[in-house]
Structure 1
Amino acid sequence: MRWKALCTVLLLGLALPFAVAVVAPARAENLISALSSDRVNIESNFTGTRIVVFGEISRDALTVARPDPYDLAVVVSGPEQQVTTRRKGRFMGIWVNRDSETFENVPSFLAVHTTRAPYEMASRTVLERHRIGLNNLNLPIAVASDVPIGDRDNFRAAFLRLRIQSGLYQEETESIEFLSDSLFRTSVSLPANVPVGEYTVSTYLLRGGALLAQAEERLTIAKSGFEQFTYRLAYQNSALYGLLAVALAIFTGWLAGVIFRRD
């Protein structure tokens, strides 16, 4: 009896992978993406640049043609941070900061490129999960807020407006170009004030409101040369950086006094 039970277990173990392979459906579409450059160096003469995101949609040979067209979304997201949005108000005749709202897990940079308007591509749940569209960006509150619930949308709108004006948030529809039935490309602008850090470049393939495939690449934006030295010094050795700044200011003042001294 023991041998029969052991043989039964072994047969089930051998048959299980084949059963799973039969039941699990094969992926009909696959998405391949790449970047024109996976590193951007910021120097003193940096005025912004552009990166090209390109890729290919590959389909299984047995895939049946679907009636709906493909939709693509490219989302470039920078390091997350905590941001406080403040609103000024009059106090004793002076404009000062009054109410504020603090958001957490906010991307420092966000660029969204799509083949058409995001709301036409999928449900809001899918769009919010993958940050496809600025209106679908979830901004969780970091701390308890005294701002009335009905007034929080104003802070959200102000935050998005300021980020868009500074070029750190972008949304461009119909900006992904199909070079063929399967090849695509888009160009993402990085402004001069782009934050440094590790970025995520995500590409999503949708059809009929469903997410079919996705791909992810990494992009590094870093300072180089003297800018990198001062950046590291300021953040890793702030005390030494402060002393050097004071010494440089004193020396500059003394030198100016010597040059412009009247006899």
Structure 2
Amino acid sequence: MRARALLAALVLALLPATLATAQDEEVVLGLSQNRVAINANFDGSEILIFGAVKRDAVPILPALDVIVTVAGPNEPLKVMRKERRAGIWVNTDQVTIRQAPSFYAVSTTQPLSQILTQTEDLRHRISIPRAIRSITSGDDVLDEDNFVNALIRLREQQGTYLMQEKAVRLDEQTLFNTRVALPSNLTEGVYRVDVYLLREGRVITSYETALRVGKVGLEQWLYALAHEQALAYALLAIFIAVISGWAASEVFRLIRNQ
């Protein structure tokens, strides 16, 4: 009886410490750059994501894991299946995806399936398939997952969807960092950076910050002119074409006269 009482007292003594460790852990995050500038020479970039786990007590088992995601602006799109009929490739079935990130990268300390349960993935939408939302299709389409997988494969080939397992370095259960490569074909807008802390497959806390991607300099001015003042942009294009044609003809005339 006395042994049971001592065991119960020990459990009660450890329980608050466990809860405090799980609830009082916070993320302090930093980025190597908060803005990615797209200019005429832009051929991609890389960001360093680093941070620390702030806590009030010494970490206890089970071990901590970290997942870092970078998501670009969502965009709607259609994924179509092509079939060869009578020697011609035609579109047959299609699936409409209302929200798919234009860029998505997942970096982890361990293989994703080992540190994140399906329930937590469904709740937080961390994995690449879960980040793709609102799928609608016709009644005759029974394999929606195949369309989603085809989209993921295509964007992985383009470098806009990245799965980087064991790419997050975690030191002493406190300091972490990872690098994410950004391709040259980035969509402009606000990119969301999320950091998830996990224990035993469950997300115990998360932190979110923003990364801005946009054109700068002459590219930004021309883009804004084309979309906000289409007539002025058209007149400018005509003027440049006329001047270029005249300059070329003058150069050829001078060459012939020599």
Q: TM-score range by the shorter chain?
A: 0.7 to 0.9
Shift of 1:95: 2.8
Q: Equivalent residue for 1:35?
A: 31
Aligned equivalents of 1:260, 1:98: Cα separation in 2? 53
Amino acid at match of 1:71: D
Aligned equivalents of 1:102, 1:238: Cα separation in 2? 30
Check if 1:171 corresponds to 2:163: yes
Q: Equivalent residue for 2:60?
A: 65
Amino acid at match of 1:65: I
Q: Deviations over 1:56-106 (max 9, x none)?
A: 112222x6722x211100000111111122233345533344432221121
Aligned equivalents of 1:245, 1:92: Cα separation in 2? 44
Aligned counterpart in structure 2 of residue 139 of structure 1, from 124, 127, 133: 133
Shift of 1:166: 0.8
In structure 2, the CA distance between the partners of 1:238 and 1:83, relative to structure 1 (3 Å rule), is farther
Amino acid at match of 1:38: N
Q: Equivalent residue for 1:205?
A: 197
Q: Secondary structure at the match of 2:186?
A: coil
Aligned equivalents of 2:246, 2:129: Cα separation in 1? 54
Amino acid at match of 1:127: D
Q: Equivalent residue for 1:118?
A: 112
Q: How does 1:42-61 map to 2 (within 5 A)?
A: 42-61=38-57
Q: Secondary structure at the match of 2:69?
A: strand
RMSD of equivalent CA atoms: 2.5
Q: How does 1:230-245 map to 2 (within 5 A)?
A: 230-245=222-237
- Aligned residue pairs total 235
Aligned equivalents of 1:52, 1:221: Cα separation in 2? 15
Q: Equivalent residue for 1:182?
A: 174
Q: Secondary structure at the match of 2:43?
A: coil
In structure 2, the CA distance between the partners of 1:208 and 1:149, relative to structure 1 (3 Å rule), is same
Superposition TM-score, scaled by structure 2 size? 0.80
Shift of 1:253: 5.0
- Structure 1: segments with no counterpart, 5+ residues: 1-24
Amino acid at match of 1:163: R
Amino acid at match of 1:80: N
Percent of aligned pairs with the same amino acid: 39
Q: Equivalent residue for 1:10?
A: none
Aligned equivalents of 1:246, 1:148: Cα separation in 2? 49
Aligned equivalents of 1:217, 1:187: Cα separation in 2? 16
Contact conserved, 1:128 with 1:137, CA < 8 A, in 2? no
Contact conserved, 2:116 with 2:201, CA < 8 A, in 1? yes
Check if 1:85 corresponds to 2:79: yes
Aligned equivalents of 1:99, 1:256: Cα separation in 2? 50
